[in-house]
Structure 1
């Protein structure tokens, strides 16, 4: 089974996929083998999704922010400050509600297998720390190709600039953008800390990664093979959480040594300024129900 994604091989999500492959091979007694194509070898996230849809690729990992362009219900996961803390997001991933969302992509020939923790996303910039939304005024901030990400940066006063992940290092270097927003391990493994010397923990969103299989490939698996794959995916997701925690600790230590100035702004002004994003869901009863269910989780 061919599994392609855009991340570096040192990234905790890639390491979780390696674990998935090991467990699947063990469970199937060598009948199912995963071949990994990391670092964008087969294209960026959108290209990999399209390859899944036509059956030219079996499995991929994409951010829920990119997936929202294919399966609109996923846009709920990009709402700023939707999750209270990390445990709240884990509770959602493991819940019936979370699993129901994974199965929403069938009409688009995409089926979710599990969520991978992608931490919280924060702003990082070249010339100054972001201490409040006012500091984003006039700054060009790279975002994913996601309507929600664009809306969020607009609300905060920045100029959202969609650029593919693979092109971002050069865009930062050349001044095409003034900064970006992402989680700490991705900031580190991408080496963006070599260009951006300010990382501001506003933690505006906690958008998970989704491991997906194309329904064309899924339909060719028998019941036992499906069970092996689902079990291997679920086990890799639990392993990934610990890998992620360690990767965050290591990344923070390393970027500080490299001279990155880390600050922890008050999140309340960011939360208040992005509250209007909820208006995007007026008239969408399915999304509103999902938001209510997530927020009411204990």
Structure 2
């Protein structure tokens, strides 16, 4: 039997692949078809984990052999249909219909929800992807956000999601920054402060111009940082729109305080409306 920590981490990978597949399945039909490959990979990794946990050597098993050697597994016929859809895509170039994709998504969800507690004693919905996060400070905020979401405290969930994201950027940048990191992708210059006011004052046209230039330059700097990290900028803009404005005070290299500026509840209504589309 595998160590519990290893099982939780491997299950987190399964859930991560499942989440990606679900997102793919929501796209236009041609793109959504590739979700079948992701769903199949997700299930295959899950089955391999079960076999390893039972000390079974499954390296030479076919996909459907798992149901022969582990008879308590459910939804055998549905998983066989998933396998056939994968073969049609990968080896015949035949993509499934939208209804087949939706059926596969529902089937995989049911399969994981039924078999995870049977095999590992944990509900699938309780598995947290946060176990894949390297930075403990970020993981802590993600865990709190998930707890708030489960208890229906959506706004508090958004607060902690935002802090987790800011902490991730801070931790990553601190980890990559050193006197020898000449090729660091985050070396895009320092943020511009408001020191220009001591030169031009606060109440003239020059001050307004400098203020506009400063804000624009800092915004461009932030955009460069986000895109350099490979983050989808459109998703980032949406994330910024629905989360509170949070100011970070860096007291020490490893200590940060976050101050929340509560937004109007209209943002929460916007989030709810968007999620129902």
Q: TM-score scaled by structure 1? A: 0.20
- RCO higher in structure (CA 8 A, sep ≥6): 1
Name the TM-score, length of structure 2 as normaliser. Answer: 0.21
Pick the structure with more helix per residue. Answer: 2
User: Hey, which of these two has a bigger chunk of strand by percent?
Assistant: 1
Larger Rg: 2
